Chains A and B, each alone.
Chain A
Amino acid sequence: MAIVVNRPKLTLAERCYVPAIVAGLAITWKHLKRALFNRGIVTMQYPEEKWDANMPDWYRGAPTLVSDEHGKDRCVACQLCEFICPPRAITIKPMEIPGADRWSKVEKRPEEFDIDMTRCIYCGLCEEVCPEQAIYLRKDYSITGLNRHEMIHDKETLYKLGGVRTGLVFKWNELK
């Protein structure tokens, strides 16, 4: 069944749209006046003001490597993150742990662990795939560098950014 929508009959004032224009000008003038006295402005002045305090728990910032409470680096260089990384930002060179070490013949460890931050898309798949819970996406988002080389995070930087994670942390845990 067809529905007939009647067009509203406009009054003369509505048809010549001068009152509407004046009303609109009044509204914009109100906003202009408010903003002149620095009220009602919603823009955040970025480098001085940051949104960090309001960052949600699930925020996915830069991927980092973490060590546990015993000071042991968690990564065992299984390379799963390297393989799953969609933009292939991660490059791992595994090494055997030397004989004197307690963990020799048990695990591997990365000799080099590079994440190219010009490539990283912050998808979090590396964090999800990691069996050792060694790689975490932290809340750092302002990753800058003056050249491409500076944008590659090596093992040292990654551990420094990641810090220490205590206890067994499950990925579905609220603590991140």
Chain B
Amino acid sequence: MDTDLILHFLNIPWVFILWTTFLKSFILLNLVLGVVSVTVYAERRVSAFIQDRVGPNRVGIPLTLFGGKKDIPFFGLGQMIADPIKLLTKENFQPASVNGFYYWLAPKLVMIPPILVLAVLPFGSSLFGVQMTIADLNIGVLYIFAISSLSVYGITLAGWASNSKFPFLGGIRSSSQMISYELALGLSVVPVFMICGSLNLNAIVDWQVRNGWLVAPFWPSGFSVASLLHNPAEVIHSFIAGVSLQRVMLWIPLMISFFIFVVAIFAETNRLPFDLPEAEQELVGGYHTEYASMNFALFFLGEYAAMFAGSGAIVSLFLGGWSCPLIPDGTTGFFWGLVNILIFFAKVSMLLLFFIWVRWTLPRFRYDQLMRLGWLGFFPIALGNIFLTALILAIIHR
């Protein structure tokens, strides 16, 4: 009786939306924070491998603490837990000269925007008929740009409130860098909207499910295992038909915008080769020089969460989101819904690995090079790309 009542209550439309949204937010947030800590570990390990070192490989299961003979190293994965414990238990030292209120506010401002961005990312197709997006916003991409550009306030405030020269320089650099690359970022995705006809990330991903990923928009519609088994000849035929002149023509501006978007995301997340606000070697640590313990950890968390959010945006916009050819979406069953979520996270992980790989390959840009690249390189190219797309679309639809 009671369970019936509860089930009935949970099925009231607005209650249903409420509790599923809370559940999705909770799970996604925890998943992302988990991914972030794995990324920090991966960053250390991959950087070590690239430099012919070993990296953290000892912290595992500390059996000796409980009277065991030997610790189990477990590839050093215990580092993921050891690092936060260290940061949480350290003294949260506040230098005497800082502006207290903003000094404490800044790390939170860096931390919050990337997590807010997660709200619009379609991280899976659907589970039990519930769409795997926390907020199905019609202005999804605009929301991402609006929110992610807020994180510059955190960094600038940190630089200013620290009342010290290196953080100040870092804050200034960050503000001008972020504003410059936001332009290229915003303009580079306009061709995507022109082709997909929507700003909604779910709609963009759906378009890619039907027409192939935007970096390779050649797949025929209804491309699945069943159709491949029943009449492969027809699938191959439609595949060839997919690689038409129109598609190839559209592919060119899409690749340009993909390239610019990825580079601009690097600049937005302050990753090397664009990590001028941090710039360990010249600015000590840039905007977070004066921060210690959990305040510093929040900056760290914010950076990696921003990497995740940026990768999620790249995946949703260009790499087909949760979709993968030959794999059905969540409407066909619970299992495939989970697989779709896994695919999204796998794609994001590959991109995160790419972020790390690039970081340990390229040296930092000089400041004027950075600005020249942004304003004289990517800005005009992105702008021209819009006109190119418009031209191609006009030719196709004539």
Contact = CB atoms under 8 A, between A and B. Distances in A.
Given A21-B362, A28-B360, A29-B357, A42 B52 contact: yes
A135 B357 CA distance: 53
A24 B362 contact: yes
Interface string A8-44: 0000000000000100110111011011100011110
Contacts of B51: 31
A105 B49 CA distance: 66
Nearest to A16: B377
Contact of A42 (B53, B357, B361): B53
Contacts of A32: 46, 49-50, 357
A25 B50 contact: no
Contacts of A24: 361-362
Contact of B52 (A29, A35, A45): A35
Interface residues of B, number: 13
Contacts of B346: none
B358 interface: yes
Interface string B50-82: 111110000000000000000000000000000
Interface of A: 21, 24-25, 27-29, 31-32, 34-36, 40-43, 45
B13 to A, nearest CB: 50
A31 B50 contact: yes
A28 B54 contact: no
Contact of B357 (A28, A41, A43, A45): A28
Interface in B13-60: 46, 48-54
Nearest to B54: A43
Contacts of A43: 48, 52-54
Contacts of A25: 357-358, 361
A41 B54 contact: yes
Contact of A35 (B49, B357, B362): B49
A44 B48 CA distance: 13
Contacts of B49: 31-32, 35-36, 41
Contacts of A34: 52
Nearest to A40: B52
B328 to A, nearest CB: 33
A50 B298 CA distance: 39
Given A21-B362, A24-B361, A24-B362, A31 B54 contact: no
A42 B49 CA distance: 10
Given A28-B50, A43-B52, 14 more contacts: A24-B362, A28-B357, A28-B360, A28-B361, A29-B357, A32-B46, A32-B49, A32-B357, A35-B53, A36-B49, A41-B49, A42-B52, A43-B48, A45-B54
**What does DSSP make chain A's interface, helix, strand, loop or mixed?**
helix
A21 B259 CA distance: 13
A28 B361 CA distance: 6
A42 B360 CA distance: 18
B374 to A, nearest CB: 14
B53 A41 contact: yes
A36 B357 CA distance: 14
A34 B52 CA distance: 8
A36 B52 CA distance: 10
Nearest to A25: B361
B52 A31 contact: yes
Q: Which of A36, A40, A41, A42 has the most CB of B within 10 A?
A: A41
Contacts of A27: 361
Interface string B329-367: 000000000000000000000000000011011100000
Contacts of A36: 49
A147 to B, nearest CB: 21
A45 B53 CA distance: 10
Contacts of B362: 21, 24
Q: Which of A25, A40, A45 has the most CB of B within 10 A?
A: A25
A39 to B, nearest CB: 10
* Top 4 A-B residue pairs of the complex, sorted by shortest distance between their CB atoms: A35-B49, A28-B361, A43-B54, A24-B361
16 contacts: A21-B362, A24-B362, A25-B358, A27-B361, A28-B357, A28-B360, A29-B357, A31-B49, A31-B51, A31-B52, A34-B52, A35-B49, A35-B50, A41-B53, A41-B54, A43-B48
B353 to A, nearest CB: 10
A27 B46 CA distance: 14
Q: Which of B48, B358, B361, B362 has the most CB of A within 10 A?
A: B361
Nearest to A45: B54
A24 B273 CA distance: 13
B52 A41 contact: yes
A27 B357 CA distance: 11
B379 to A, nearest CB: 15
Nearest to A39: B52
Contacts of B48: 35, 43
A43 B54 CA distance: 6
A29 B358 CA distance: 10
Contacts of B360: 28
